[in-house]
Every structure is written in structure tokens, then in C-alpha cells.
Amino acid sequence: MNIEKNIAIVGLGQVGLYLYNELNSKKKEIEIKTGKKIKIVAISAKNKNKKRRFKIDKKIFFTNPIKIFKQKKIDILFECIGQSDGMSKKIVEYALKNKINVITPNKALIAKHGDALSKIAEKNNVNLEFEASVAGGIPILRTIKEGLATNKISKVYGILNGTTNYILSEMENSNETFDLVLKKAQKLGYAEPGNPKLDLNGFDAFAKIRILSALSFNTKISKSNCIMEGIQNIKLEDIKTASKLGLRVKLLGISEIINGRLFETVHPCLVSKNTYIGNVNGVMNAVITEGKPVGESLLQGEGAGPGPTSSSLLSDLLSILRGNIKYPFGISYKKRKSIKTFNNDNYANSLYLRFEVKDKQGVLSLITNRLSKFRISVKRIIQTPDKKNNKATIVIITHKTTEINIRKCLSLFKKNKNILKHPTLIRLYN
């Protein structure tokens, strides 16, 4: 007998609504691939009468999602609201405790509560799937959990936010400022119209890095105080100078085990135009893993948008329908270790430093002397005078130095009347 699986979708925004349409149009295909019939028996959003891109069945609409569970038998819940707490957490917890499988694209929820939620899922022998929470349509979580299951992963990194990658690429291509390109991104739907802050300041990529670390290293989700910097301070002139040096600015998320300790970070990096990661442009995401014995593996694809996100949500659904009940983070909650974190002060990189200074004799030597006091050696200097305004821009590329050194050194520059602004720092990646 082919029993129907009852589905509820909570949240009918960009992702939830697209998913609703996909599920309706792919019912037959899903049945052929899994042997299971599906039926959407409940949908929920805040506003029943809101005009939406696709027609919805208002007979199954719930304004209060909690009521769904009281009135319908649900087998699988799609949580597509997107809060880290509030109603998102409430319904996911409720569903798991009541032996209902949960699928969510909500990275904020998983990065914050993934450990506790996976514990509840395991206890109740149901699935909590969140493939779409990291890198949209790229099947990176399943690849780590299944395809690379017996490898010892030592590093996972990449471009995890399509909005910022689009902005950086477009600034280089169009020669336009950050503000102009951000407006373009908002018009195209790549950046949130109201508040794009969480994409721009690295927070979104950081939530994804925390999820990737837990899966890659079989650890609990870390609460480390990592270096998190976004792209808000990247100027067109940084992109142009970098380009002349054969480099590109990319916002990278990096997670690795250094001397047995976990190091996680998100910050803009200068990467060579000749590298693979230097050529992942526009809204594309890419994730690279380094493991033994497999070596380096990489996956590239669209990291956001309702289409790619739904592709991952459906892949989670098919996994559940095929009866693949497994641990949300690959191994059981009890076996996932807490891990000590690497001291950020010891993180070392070559640096790009841009100083805006008064065009006066002795300013360059003042800068280089200060750097050398902190044992930061200079590899390259590019000086561009602005005679009209009696100013100059000095770009210095340094040899490798530690975070603690550069922090101490740069703090001194704040107090100098010849240095007009706090210097811009971009780390070079390898």
C-alpha cells in the first residue's frame, strides 16, 4: 500500500512559496523516485491575503502555524520562516518532539540551536535536514555527511555568500562604488531591500561556517569568538589596486583545524586571479574541502535564490522519503566533541594596508618605521599622490605577520595627525 506523506510548509516567502509550487508540480516525479506519494495538507504565513507570485490553496492556510499540528497529521514540516528563535524555533522543536521530520533552509536557527535540535531529533528517531542552509543549491552538507563520510577533513573554506560576491565582482567589472552596486544588487533581488546588513557584515557566511565546521570535524557547533569582518569598508580603489597586482577581493569563510584546535573566520581576502577561488564570480558560491585520503574537493553553484534553495530542500525530502533516517550532523549528538579554539592572535597572513595620508615628507618613513617596530616587514609599496588635495594614498603589502602584531601596530596610527583615516586592512589568502 502506498501511504501518502502529509506535508506542511510554514513560511511562504521567497523560498517557501517557490517550494510550494515545486512540490505541487513534481509530485509524480517524487513518487517515481521514492515510491511515496506526498500531499501538502497545510501552509502557513503571516498574512493570508498577501498577494503572492503563485496561487495558494487558502483552504489549507493557517495564520497560526502551531494550530496545524493540532488539526492535521503531519509527517514532514518545512520551516521556511527564517528566524533564529521565535516561531521558527517553536515549531521545529514542537515537530521534532512529536516525531515529525523537519526540513529547513534556516542557517540562523541551525547555527544557534542546531545542537539542541539534533538531540531532540535523535531522541525521537526523526530527521532534521538543513542542506539548504549552507550555499543554497550546492549539496555540500550531504557531500560531507555521505560522500566524504570516512575522510578526515582538516579544512573547509569558500565563498558562502552570493550577495557579497556579486557586489565585489560587479565593483570590479563596472568600476562603480560599493553604494551604487549595492543598490543594483537590491534591485536584482540579490540583496535584501530593507536591511542587507547580515549579508554584508559577514554574519550570514559565519552561520554557514559554524554549520560546516560541526559537520566536517564531528564537533559541537562552536561559539568561538572568531574574526568576523564584512565587505562594508572595501572601496573601489582597493579593488582597482588589487586588480593591478593580479589580485581580487573575495569574502571567504574559513574553518580549519590548526594544532588540534578549531579556527573559524569570515573576512575579505585578496586572492590571486590565477586561483580557482579567484574566478568564482557574481552570485556564485564555492566550497572547498581538504581531507584524507580524498585530497581537495570542490563544489560550485548558485548559493541563493528560491530555485537553488528549493533544489536542496527537495533533496532533503527525497532522502527522508527513501527512509534515510540518520543523525542530523552525521554522527550521534553524544559522540560529537567540544573542541578548543585556536587563539585568533596567532592567525598569520600577509597584509594589504591602505593609508590615506597628508602629502608630506617623512610620512612614509613614519609608517614603515612603525611597522618595523612590530617586526612587520614590507614586501611592496605603492604611493599615489593627490597633489590637488595635498594628500596621498600609500598601499603597503607586508610579509606574513600575526593578528596581535598588526592590531597593536595599527592602533598607534589612530593618534597621528598626518594619517587622515584609520588604515584599511585586507588579508592576503596564502
- Contacting residues toward ligand NAP, per CB under 6 A: 10-16, 44-47, 50, 65, 80-82, 87, 105-107, 132, 136, 304-306, 309
Which residue out of 5, 89, 208, 250 is catalytically annotated?
A: 208
Nearer Cβ to ligand NAP (11/202): 11
Helical axes 162-174 vs 236-244, angle rounded to 10°: 70
CA atoms within 13 A on the CB side of 97: 8
Nearer Cβ to ligand NAP (50/421): 50
Smallest separation, CB 241 to ligand NAP (Å) = 32
Which among 205, 308, 218, 202 is positioned nearest to 262, based on CA atoms? 218
Enclosing H/E stretch for 142: helix 140-142
Nearer Cβ to ligand NAP (304/357): 304
DSSP classification of residue 349: E
Nearer Cβ to ligand NAP (13/147): 13
Nearer Cβ to ligand NAP (305/423): 305
Smallest separation, CB 253 to ligand NAP (Å) = 15
Active site residue 208: yes
Smallest separation, CB 96 to ligand NAP (Å) = 17
Smallest separation, CB 299 to ligand NAP (Å) = 16
CA atoms within 13 A on the CB side of 227: 24
Q: Which residue has the cell 521514492?
A: 34
CB-closest chain residue to ligand NAP: 13
Smallest separation, CB 45 to ligand NAP (Å) = 3
- Cα–Cα distance for residue pair 167/400, rounded to 1 Å: 28
- Cα–Cα distance for residue pair 312/287, rounded to 1 Å: 15
Which among 139, 126, 414, 180 is positioned nearest to 301, based on CA atoms? 139
Which among 103, 107, 106 is positioned nearest to 127, based on CA atoms? 103
Dihedrals φ, ψ of 272, to 5°? -70, 145
- Residues acting as catalytic residues: 208
